[in-house]
Amino acid sequence: MTTAETSVLPSVPGVPSEGALAGVKVLDLMWVVAGPTATRAMADFGATVIRVESANRIETARGIGPFHNNEQGPDHSGLFGNMNINKLGLSLNLATAEARDVLLDLIKWCDVLSESFSPRAMRAWGMDYESLREIKPDLIMLSTCLFGQAGPLSRVAGFGTMGSAIGGYIALAGNPGEAPIGPYSAYTDYLSPRFSLPTIMAALDHRDRTGEGLYIDQAQAESSLHFMSAALLDYTINGRVPQLVGNADPDMAPHGCYRASGDDDWVAIAVRNDADWANLCSAMGMGELTCDDRFADLSARKANEDELNEIVGGWTADRGALEVEYMLQAFGVPAHAVSNSAASADDPQMLHRGHFIRMEHPVHGETAFEAAKGQMSETPPSYRSAAPSIGRDNDLVLREILGYDDERIAQLAIADALT
């Protein structure tokens, strides 16, 4: 992936020497989820990622739960910990000129500069791409914010909750006649990294072939619209706006989430066609329903969907969610118990895949994290260190990577540049 000139790194603890991306150097100025997800994937596969933060303005994710022992604190957030393992932590007070000088040295060092500030921040520091390419022509720079670097909304700072709303996702989910509820969480934060990561990789490939750097301007809300393609096309071509339909599906019935016998236990069932319907009836011991004109085919089942859901829901209510799942799957009907967090953590498929890993955390001891989102047989991911506390690796970065001496580091401390 990288040329010999860009792959040379100091042989120091904390700097990976193996992995598919070993030798790739990333300067990470990103926040919360959308940006750090992409750089964490690179760190998992061997890139050296330096995460810059400041105690003067605590990273938002450090204040988002779940928290270890339900206690808030900058090193207690499970969300932050999950998004930033394998990264080096450097504290810089970028309000000071001295800290910005360090940042410039890191930009000269890195292959990829990734930032998720609002557009005015890097420009105000004189660190827009056009300025930076003058000192590092082969720099790859990713600017990823909610609405991109230009346009009427570009100066609006925001989070994925806003991206979900403006992208139309909130209006997609909800029950008929009720308020929309949208998908879970800040949805575009989980979609946009799927675009930023491969784009960075493509930019590295381009640089290695041509010697040219690239600037990537990613509007998270816009890139996430790719997952709205069907709804956007339906409106553009047919003038139809999606309506709230709860768990119903236009091409499947029954299709829903049905209450099981346990406390807040549910099971999802999807009947794709008439064969599934016949199998569901057999599983429920209600074979006579296959001869009922109300449910003879999809159009009939859709016309009588409320009655249909009452029948299915009455049957599931007397059984455990897992019992229903196993029984219906045995009959070839798609079904699955709705998992809560505890069930997901113990899910046999997740455990088989090694989805959860355990690492030593300096404050909380052995702690669970998610593994890399993908596996590669010849260059597997590695897990080297828990997410950094603020400034954890200052000495390593300043002294070993940038080569600063004691006097330079002392001057930075006196100037309040390392807070």
**Tell me: the pLDDT tens digits for 380-404?**
999 999 999 999 999 999 999 999 9
Q: Check: pTM over 0.95? Answer yes or no.
A: no
List pLDDT tens digits, range 193-240: 999 999 999 999 999 999 999 999 999 999 999 999 999 999 999 999
Tell me if 213 sits within 8 A of 207, measured CB to CB: yes
pLDDT on residue 305? 97
Name the residue with higher pLDDT: 150 or 315: 315
What does the pLDDT read at residue 82?
95
Can you tell me the distance from the alpha carbon of 281 to that of 260, in angstroms, rounded to the nearest whole number? 17
Q: Which of 75, 189, 276, 393 is catalytic?
A: 189
* Residue 189 appears among annotated catalytic residues: yes
Mean of pLDDT values over 31-40: 94
Only one residue has tokens 């346990």, namely 262
Q: To 5 degrees, how large is the angle CA 267–CA 268–CA 270?
A: 145
Buried b (16+ CB within 10 A) or exposed e, 337-349: bbeeeeeeeeeee
Tokens of 400: 């070993």
**What pLDDT digit, counting tens, does each position of 238-281 carry?**
999 989 999 999 999 999 999 999 899 999 999 999 999 999 99
Question: Each residue of 88-134: pLDDT tens digit?
Answer: 999 999 999 999 999 999 999 999 999 999 888 899 999 999 999 99
H or E element, residue 144: strand 140-145
CB atoms within 10 A of CB 273: 12
* Integer CA distances (angstroms), 326 to 308, 331, 335, in order: 21, 9, 8
Is residue 55 a contact partner of residue 95, using CB atoms and an 8 Å limit?
no
Encode pLDDT of 38-84 as tens digits: 999 999 999 999 999 999 999 999 999 999 999 999 999 999 999 99
- pLDDT given at position 310: 98
Q: Is the pLDDT of residue 6 over 80?
A: no
pLDDT value, residue 291? 95
Which tokens sit at 85?
């393992």
d(CA 145, CA 155): 10
Does position 11 have pLDDT exceeding 50, yes or no?
no
* Closest to 221 (Cα-Cα) out of 305, 163, 267: 163
How many residues are there in the chain?
419
Cα–Cα distance, 76 to 168 (Å, whole number):
33
| Under 8 Å between Cβ of 263 and 335 | no
The per-residue pLDDT for range 137-156, each reduced to its tens digit, is: 999 999 999 999 999 988 88
**Residue 184: what pLDDT?**
82
Nearest to 102 by CA among 37, 145, 52: 52
Q: Which helix (H) or strand (E) holds 342?
A: helix 341-345
- Write the secondary structure of 234-284 as one string of H (helix), E (strand) and C (coil): HHHHHCCCCCCCCCCECCECCEEEEECCCCCCEEEEECCCHHHHHHHHHHH
Q: What is the spatial distance between Cα 224 and Cα 147, in angstroms, rounded to a whole number?
A: 11
Q: Which long-range contacts (CB under 8 A, 24 or more apart) does 376-379 make?
A: 376/20, 376/45, 379/18, 379/19, 379/20, 379/45, 379/46
Give the pLDDT confidence score for residue 158 in this predicted structure. Answer: 80
Whether the Cβ atoms of residue 180 and residue 172 lie closer than 8 Å to each other: yes
pLDDT of residue 262: 87
| Residue closest to 37 by CA, chosen among 205, 191, 238 | 191
Please check the confidence at residue 2 and state whether its pLDDT lies above 70. Answer: no
- ∠ at Cα 191 (189, 192), nearest 5°? 75
Helix (H, G, I), strand (E, B) or coil at 197: helix
Q: How far is the C-alpha of 267 from the C-alpha of 337, rounded, in Å?
A: 4
> Looking at residue 17, what is its pLDDT?
80
pLDDT score recorded for residue 14 = 65
Distance CA 227, CA 237 (A): 17
Packing angle of the helix pair 274-284, 305-316 (nearest 10 deg): 40
For residue 7, is pLDDT > 50? no
pLDDT at 85 over 90: yes
